[in-house]
Structure 1
Amino acid sequence: MTAELDPAHEERTAHDEPLFSGLPGDINVSFEFFPPKTDKMANTLRESVATLAPLAPRFMSVTYGAGGSTRERTHEQVVRINNETGIPAAAHLTCVDATREEVDAVARHYWESGIRHIVALRGDPPEGEHSFSPHPQGYANAAELVAGLKAIAPFEISVGAYPEVHPDAASEADDLDNLKRKLDAGASRAITQFFFDPECFFRFRDKAANTGIDAEIIPGIMPVMSFAAVQRMSGLCGTAIPDWMEGLFAGLDERPAARQLVSATVAAELCRRLYAGDVRDFHFYTLNRAELSYAICHMLGVRPRGGQ
């Protein structure tokens, strides 16, 4: 049965100030990219970085393929961002399919190249494998990786967190304990997997605090580039997709311009609700496209710095 509408409530809502009006832009943002495979993709990434850099992000990060499959391309893009934009660049680094010596060598190379921030992750299983198995001479998990990086140099380190519990975790408590081990090993902050329900993040933040975690936890925001792709990614990482989202995006994967407008609105509203819950830091999974993240930041009051 459809709930009866309250005309007076609807009228008040319609006449209230817009959801994004008057925001002072008092937030920090960061952006994540992946290393391009082709010259065309490299140009797209370069244009996206140039578009987002004037928003003065805290950092821009570049992902790292399983087993170091994108090692050189990741390094190239991280160093280029760091040197050409003046924005601190963060390199992702994982434990997958590598010895400690190999991982340590990559980390030293980053430090020698002027990179001071690492996003330290256990990493996903290599393609074709269904579960993570540590290399016999490698780091067994992200907590060990963090400790190893700190032994090499005083890196700033970010780690991952799962508001809806990591798929490999034995329990919610086990997942939170693992996050605490990573932070206790020397990580500065956690960046969450993407999610679509603000209450999910608030519950996770409260549970983390109750576990004794006092480091900052930054929500990861995934604007919908393709709903089919988001469904695939959500299935892999255990992210719940609200029923209303499927109906909202139905038919839009064939209409990219319309989908982009809807996607920006949905992600901006999620951020606005997080903002209302005292969140002031956001990490955007850009998928190497700037427009959606730029639009969301604009609605949150973030403007280019220095008149750019």
Structure 2
Amino acid sequence: MNLTVDQLHEARRATDDPLFADLAGDAQISFEFFPPKNAKMETTLWDSVKTLEPLNPRFVSVTYGAGGSTRERTHATVRRIVEETPIQAAAHLTCVDASKAEIEEVIGDYWDAGVRHIVALRGDPPRKGDTFEPFRPHPEGYASAAELVAGIKAFKPFEVSVAAYPEVHPEADCPQADLDNLKRKLDAGATRAITQFFFSAENFFRFRDAVAAAGIDAEIVPGILPVSNVATTQRIAGMCGAAIPPWMNRLFEGLDELPAARQLIAATVAAEMCRKLYAGGVREFHFYTLNRAELSYAICHLLGMRPHGPDQTS
């Protein structure tokens, strides 16, 4: 990692002073949600959106199930965010089991609903147990995320975000092939890349350096997953190529029946990593909320973010 003089000064301040003392609150944040499956989950989701809204996120994204399985619920959630909040809503979209005509219909619906931001992903086919079937392009569809990005940009002038993998996509032949694919997506018209979650700031910094060395100058936003259930996270991480350090397993041992303690530790671990990222010059963060606001809100607060609004101080 190559640090500037300002970053070295900030890194020294982070070690000499209380870790989160008097941060400037100059980070930009965004949040990811998934569409609710029932009325109770919808209430939880909407409570989370309204809790996080005063932090003035630059956008919130809503995921899209394998094979378009949540298409209607994703669209309904995105539409409600657009209609009932001032937040920019970004809709996830994948290539899986969809023709180009079907995808054009989906993005046309989003455009008509006022959505101007798409998170374009190749997508994963439906799972069998804990494994995915091999990806097979629809015969009349897009074969990759780069093709999808190009198709979206040709249809309407959406802002487009794509995915990046600090620990290499599990299907990539090698790190260079993964970087080449990322460059294709950005060259096709994407604005930024949001990373898969990771649990070591150094992993992100190494990836950021590799991205720069590859001639990529687009915004690379770290994806942050506050972990309170290690077993679930291990399962997800195993499918997306993210490593969980052994110390994290040890840290959560014995807390199965103590949810409040798990929450506290989860926030502490994620906030510490975010502080290291901040010390290394990162000013953009994307939080995978799992439709809960508490952990993400606490971390943002520690990073100096404060509510914005007519009756609130910024």
Common topology (TM > 0.5): yes
Q: What one-letter code is carried by the residue in structure 2 that aligns with 1:25?
A: G
Structure 1 residue 59: Cα displacement: 0.1
Which 4+ stretches in 1 moved above 3 angstroms? none
Residue in 2 that maps onto 1:210: 213
Q: What one-letter code is carried by the residue in structure 2 that aligns with 1:277?
A: G
Residue in 2 that maps onto 1:123: 123
Q: Distance in 1 between matches of 2:18 and 2:104?
A: 50
Please tell me whether residue 285 in structure 1 is matched to residue 288 in structure 2. Answer: yes
Structure 1 residue 16: Cα displacement: 4.5
- How do 1:77-116 and structure 2 match up within 5 A? 77-116=77-116
Residue in 2 that maps onto 1:6: none
Residue in 1 that maps onto 2:31: 31
Residue in 2 that maps onto 1:5: none
Q: Distance in 1 between matches of 2:230 and 2:256?
A: 7
Contact 1:189 1:216 in 2 (8 A): yes
Please tell me whether residue 144 in structure 1 is matched to residue 147 in structure 2. Answer: yes
Question: For 2:127, what is the secondary structure of its paired residue?
Answer: coil
Q: What one-letter code is carried by the residue in structure 2 that aligns with 1:213?
A: I
1:271-307, CA deviations, whole angstroms, 9 ceiling, x for partnerless residues?
A: 0000000000000000000000000000000000124
Please tell me whether residue 172 in structure 1 is matched to residue 175 in structure 2. Answer: yes
Q: 1:236 is matched with which residue: 236, 239, 252?
A: 239
Contact 1:96 1:126 in 2 (8 A): no
Residue 16 to residue 173, structure 1, CA distance change in 2 (3 Å): closer
Q: 1:295 is matched with which residue: 290, 293, 298?
A: 298
Structure 1 residue 17: Cα displacement: 2.5
Contact 1:227 1:253 in 2 (8 A): no
Q: Distance in 1 between matches of 2:17 and 2:255?
A: 29
Question: For 1:74, what is the secondary structure of its paired residue?
Answer: helix
Question: For 1:30, what is the secondary structure of its paired residue?
Answer: strand
- How do 1:184-263 and structure 2 match up within 5 A? 184-263=187-266
Structure 1 residue 190: Cα displacement: 0.1
* Gapped regions of structure 1 (runs ≥ 5): 1-12
Question: For 1:20, what is the secondary structure of its paired residue?
Answer: coil
Residue in 2 that maps onto 1:274: 277
Q: Percent identity?
A: 69
Q: What TM-score, normalized by structure 1, do the two folds share?
A: 0.94
Q: What one-letter code is carried by the residue in structure 2 that aligns with 1:121?
A: L
Please tell me whether residue 160 in structure 1 is matched to residue 163 in structure 2. Answer: yes
Q: What TM-score, normalized by structure 2, do the two folds share?
A: 0.92
Residue in 2 that maps onto 1:10: none
Residue in 1 that maps onto 2:4: none
Q: Distance in 1 between matches of 2:84 and 2:241?
A: 37
What's the Cα RMSD here? 1.2
Q: Distance in 1 between matches of 2:152 and 2:191?
A: 13
Residues matched between the structures, number: 295
Please tell me whether residue 183 in structure 1 is matched to residue 192 in structure 2. Answer: no
Contact 1:159 1:191 in 2 (8 A): yes
Contact 1:284 1:293 in 2 (8 A): yes
Residue range with higher mean Cα deviation, 185-194 or 129-138: 129-138
Q: Distance in 2 between matches of 1:225 and 1:147?
A: 37
Contact 1:124 1:132 in 2 (8 A): yes
